[in-house]
Chains A and B, each alone.
Chain A
Amino acid sequence: MYGYNVERLSLQAHSSAQQRDGDEYVVDAILSYKKLEVLIRTLLAIEAWRTLVLVDRPPPADEDATNASILDNHAHLDGKEDNQDSKLASKIAENQASLRCAFTLHVETTICSLINLILYRKENAQELDSDSSLALVDYCARQMVSCWSF
């Protein structure tokens, strides 16, 4: 499974980084095989999956459907505010696969911290091409906004 390898990579990268003079071969390999873009794409994919599929928040494209489903939701769930779990979530609960779901979410955290580590060095930041850097900047913006509380 993809997540398994990413987890191991991240662990190794972090442990190399902690040894001050250790060579960061994981980071180097990711950069020399141009896999940073793959990581960023995966990051966005999981984020999209989390916000669009796992949580019942239909895309803004079809407004009628949105309204209908919000009404639906409220009817079903007594209008409770944070009950946004989608059909997928309840299916997962039915299949008893909640740990699997948890791990899928955890991959996002892992990738995020791995990219964090890679971008620690200026040379590595130069490797970002315009598409992936845009994606990252936007991603961080979305994440930070979610930290706000008024």
Chain B
Amino acid sequence: MLQLPGMHSFLSSTFNFDIFASQVLLAAPLEHNPMLHNQKHPGTAQEIAARIQGRTTLEGIRDNRLETEFKTAVIATSLARHLCEHIESLPIGAQTRILDTHDYLQMMIPLIDEPPWTRRRRISGDVIVWEKIQDNHEWKQVAPSDLLQITQCEAQCWIAIFHLTCSNLCRHQYALNVFRKEQLLRLRKYLNEVMLDQLPILTDVMRYMDELALLNVSETSTGQGAALLMQQVDRFREDTVRSCQELDELVERQSSTFFSTSDAKDEDLRLIAGIYSEDNLGSLCYGIDGLGTHPLVEVASIGLGCMQDGVMVNVCNLTPTDKEAILQTDSGEIRRTKLRVHYTNPDEPFRFGKHLILEAALSGNEISNFKTLTLQSSLSQRKDCAMEWVQLGRSEDGGFALQLGFKVSRRSVPTSNSNQPSFELRQAFISQPV
């Protein structure tokens, strides 16, 4: 069937046959389904440890594959729920597939009857505990009293069933027959009060089942698929599967190219591992540049600009001196470095006005793009001529903080608005967490 290029529609009977053939292959009993077997019977901690130490690389690859397959399958179940939820906005071909060809409703039943996300595990000797997969896709121990507490995975199935039984479209299109009805009514026993409390939408499902129990359905209705002879073919899969026909060749090619480098020398892997290292995660979560977090980033120079008459004027450059101090603050240790001020025009130091709009651009070898800090603030004219401080940026959340100390200028100012005080930049510090 895969070798018929160009044909995108087949008689539904042909197609169904193929689908079910592949299902039988996958839906093998537990002993023949190693993926599920590994999850359901992991053994005790000692057994796992012994297994991990004793296994060959090849076995390691297989274990890993089965593990990932299982994870993907669990996520796919929740994907299926979303598809069911939005079934009305899907194209008609997909609707028929959900309701008729694959019959998602019937597929959910074994998942509730014999949930793959619940297992009993012997932790040591005679101690057996129940475990369920929790929201973060990890097995967690569940006390027997909490077993009825529904987890995300279980809820996904029920929500899918709710949408498949209670939406108008599904009620209208889903072809009930005796077999389907009986299967569906098997779920009635799970709808107890505890369940309904946790998922109130299931009240509708329960009412539907009660109605269904009284309903007479036809013996062998097979739905609209029977009337609709033509069925769309999953073109993506066809394309993909057809393109990997020459398997041996593909194996040769991949093992000599894509899988040729060993893990130890693999640059891509290093890149990927970097995603989860602290710096990058911080930048993803907070939208900052990932600068200023550990390790210490050395700043080479800082260009300070000030808004004057609507234009940003480059005022001075600040360079670090070797005067450093480690300060203790509430949010941890902070390294503070004194900065030297180099005015752009050394003969006539810049006079800052009362209202400040400042911009500082940090540069250094480890800073790939300019990190800028901005501040809008006002200085007050103090009688005692004490230093007034402003701060650009915050060091608490892992970034740079630039502290600038201003003093009222004592020199006369030959400007038009000489009533206004002017300020000079006297001291500057840069701090960052250690």
Contact = CB atoms under 8 A, between A and B. Distances in A.
Interface of chain A, helix or strand or loop or mixed?
helix
Nearest to A133: B94
Contacts of B266: 97, 99-100
Interface in A100-116: 100-103, 105-106, 108-109, 112-113, 115-116
Given A1-B272, A95-B260, A103-B269, A145 B76 contact: no
B86 A125 contact: yes
Nearest to B87: A125
B245 A116 contact: no
Given A54-B65, A92-B259, A137-B102, A48 B237 contact: yes
Interface residues of B, number: 91
B64 A119 contact: no
Interface residues of A, number: 79
B131 to A, nearest CB: 16
Contact of B114 (A102, A120, A148): A148
B21 A60 contact: yes
Central interface residue in A41, A92, A143, A144, by most chain B CB within 10 Å: A144
A106 B245 CA distance: 24
A141 B261 contact: no
A1 B281 CA distance: 18
Interface of B: 2-3, 19, 21-23, 26-27, 29-37, 40, 56-58, 60-62, 64-65, 68-69, 71-80, 82-83, 85-86, 89-94, 97-98, 102, 104, 107-108, 110-111, 114, 116, 232-237, 240-241, 244-245, 247-248, 250-251, 254-255, 258-264, 266, 268-269, 271-272, 275, 280-281, 284-285
Interface of A: 1, 3-4, 7-8, 11-12, 15, 40-41, 44-45, 48-50, 52-55, 58-61, 81-82, 85-93, 95-103, 105-106, 108-109, 112-113, 115-116, 119-120, 122, 125-126, 128-150
